[in-house]
Structure 1
């Protein structure tokens, strides 16, 4: 989990907000998920480009059927699936990519974005 904040975000000076972020980190740690808060100006350009591709599709419409598809493919396999498998299951091509990206931003899917996203990248479905 990466919480990206703009370098001029006034909440970064709010002790209550910082406590909230700390508590979120503790909860994610208990779930075995990493949690990082970074300022947008601290993100290396190659990672920024990778993240932007995902966040640009954050408003993509996903339906209850799309959720059912995810549950179905993950329950059948009982493991992490590859990016290519999940994209294909959600319609393939640009539509499938956009839905995977939207699910990542909405924290339904978990993709390790430290490396370039490729067909063999593994995707977790924490809600399975």
Structure 2
């Protein structure tokens, strides 16, 4: 029995050793970025680049679900608030100034002297955004308004990383001093790493009218499109912006044409003006410098 247990421990240690090395490397990276000799935090990501936790585990007593994101490499993005996180995912998916998104992107562990175990923080959402999008949020523009604003043809090479914590007004943790302090510490760590951190409130930052516009586009995001559809849309728009009806006709017309137009928008190949409801008169154009498009089938 003793020999068997020893062998089992040896196998377990051999399995965990690579994980320990990656964790130690993450700690050293954060410490170096913060300019300290002793590690004060570490940031751990999933090995496959996806969400670090799934949330939907069968034990929840509240609404939870998955959002399959085109901008998130068609991965399942977990959400645990149908009035906060889920609408934020829809708005980010529709936004022409959001290039990629990832729910539950990492686990941030903060080491403090008062306790042996580190404080653990799981952010709701990580976005790669154009600088103007981040600037609007920092200037007090509501999240849904900033998400649906037209792009400014900013190069995808100048993207900013934005961590978002989404709060519902009924979340009792907002009045917990310990929790608020943890968020303040997390913001400090992110700032030292060159990452922006914002807390958005559902009532103040997500408007139902904006969500309806975003949903009318995002609900068609999985419509099949191919390279011929891309060329057809580009041919119509190469002379400048057109109304949506013209582009839809070039894509086959009818419901199929509308579905393809909306799918091409989410893939960042064309851009529909989302400042109002999408109609046949909505303006459509070809964005410039959008090098990080989502590929279509050949």
TM-score by length of 1: 0.71
2:269 is matched with 108
Larger-Rg structure: 2
Alignment of 1:17-32 (within 5 A): 21=128, 24-26=129-131, 31=154
Q: CA, structure 1 residues 81+32, in 2 after alignment: closer, same or farther (shift >3 Å)?
A: farther
Higher helix share: 1
What is the number of residues matched between the two proteins? 118
Higher strand share: 2
Highest RCO, 1 vs 2 (Cα 8 Å, sep ≥ 6)? 1
- Offset, 1:86: 0.6
TM-score by length of 2: 0.33
- Offset, 1:96: 0.6
Write the distance in 2 (CA, Å) between the matches of 1:72 and 1:29: 22
Alignment of 1:1-128 (within 5 A): 1-3=96-98, 9-11=103-105, 21=128, 24-26=129-131, 31=154, 41=202, 42-75=205-238, 78-126=239-287
Moved over 6 A (4+): 12-15
Superposed CA RMSD in Å reads 3.7
Q: CA, structure 1 residues 43+2, in 2 after alignment: closer, same or farther (shift >3 Å)?
A: farther
